[in-house]
C-alpha cells in the first residue's frame, strides 16, 4: 500500500533466499525498489525469483552458494555478491534429533549454517559498508528457539542463542561505523 519505505538504489544481500522467510523478504525488498542479492542453494528457485522481479521496482541477482561450506561461501561472496548496503542473515537449517542422539556432524552442520554463515556474511557485508562509509543495517533472523528449549532441537536452539550473542557482538563492534545490527526472533511461520 502507501508505504513510505523505499530501498531504491540499495543493494541488499539476503541469505536463504530460495524459500520461506528469505524468499518473502526478497520479494518485499524488490517491491520496495531494492537490488536483492539472493543467496541460496536452490538455483532453480533463485532464477524464478529473478524472473518474478522483472515486473517490480527492484531487481534480483541469484547467487548459488551452500552456506554450510565456509570456504566456498566466502569465495562465492567475493566473486559474485558485489557491494552490500544491507544484509538479511536468514539461511537456516534444522537437523532435529533427541538430545541423546545428536551427532557431532549434525551439530557442526547446524552451527555452520545458522551461526557461522551469519558471521561470514556479516563480515563481508560490513566490510563493504565500512569501505564505502555506508551506514547500513544487518538483520539476523534468529528464533524463539534462542529463548526456550524445544523437544529434539538441541543443536538448533544452541545455534540461535549463539546467533543472538553474535548479534550483540556485531552491534557493539559495528555500531561505531554507523551500522545497526538486530535480531528478529520469529516462531514457526507459514
Between CA 155 and CA 6 the distance in angstroms is: 37
Q: Give me the catalytic one of 10, 54, 127, 160.
A: 160
C-beta separation of 100 from 149 below 8 A: no
- CA–chain centroid gap for 50, Å, is 18
156 is catalytic: yes
**Interacting residues of 6 by C-beta distance below 8 A, sequence separation 6+:** 32, 33
Query: In the structure grid, which three cell numbers stand for residue 185, read together?
Result: 526472533
C-beta separation of 174 from 138 below 8 A: yes
Q: Give me the catalytic one of 10, 19, 124, 156.
A: 156
19 is catalytic: no
Catalytic residues: 156, 160
Amino acid at each position: 500500500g502507501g508505504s513510505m519505505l523505499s530501498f531504491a538504489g540499495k543493494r541488499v544481500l539476503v541469505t536463504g533466499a530460495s524459500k520461506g522467510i528469505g524468499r518473502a523478504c526478497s520479494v518485499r525488498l524488490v517491491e520496495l525498489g531494492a537490488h536483492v542479492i539472493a543467496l541460496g542453494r536452490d538455483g532453480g528457485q533463485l532464477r524464478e525469483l529473478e524472473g518474478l522481479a522483472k515486473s517490480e521496482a527492484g531487481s534480483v541477482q541469484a547467487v548459488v552458494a551452500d552456506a554450510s561450506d565456509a570456504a566456498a561461501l566466502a569465495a562465492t561472496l567475493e566473486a559474485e555478491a558485489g557491494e552490500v548496503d544491507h544484509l538479511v542473515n536468514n539461511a537456516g537449517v534444522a537437523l532435529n534429533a533427541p538430545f541423546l542422539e545428536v551427532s557431532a556432524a549434525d551439530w557442526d552442520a547446524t552451527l555452520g549454517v545458522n551461526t557461522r554463515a551469519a558471521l561470514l556474511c556479516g563480515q563481508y557485508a560490513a566490510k563493504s559498508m565500512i569501505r564505502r562509509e555506508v551506514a547500513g543495517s544487518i538483520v539476523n533472523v534468529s528464533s524463539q528457539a534462542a529463548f526456550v528449549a524445544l523437544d529434539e532441537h538441541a543443536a538448533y536452539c544452541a545455534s540461535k542463542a549463539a546467533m543472538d550473542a553474535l548479534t550483540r557482538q556485531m552491534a557493539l563492534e559495528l555500531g561505531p561505523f554507523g551500522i545497526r545490527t538486530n535480531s528478529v526472533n520469529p516462531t514457526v511461520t507459514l
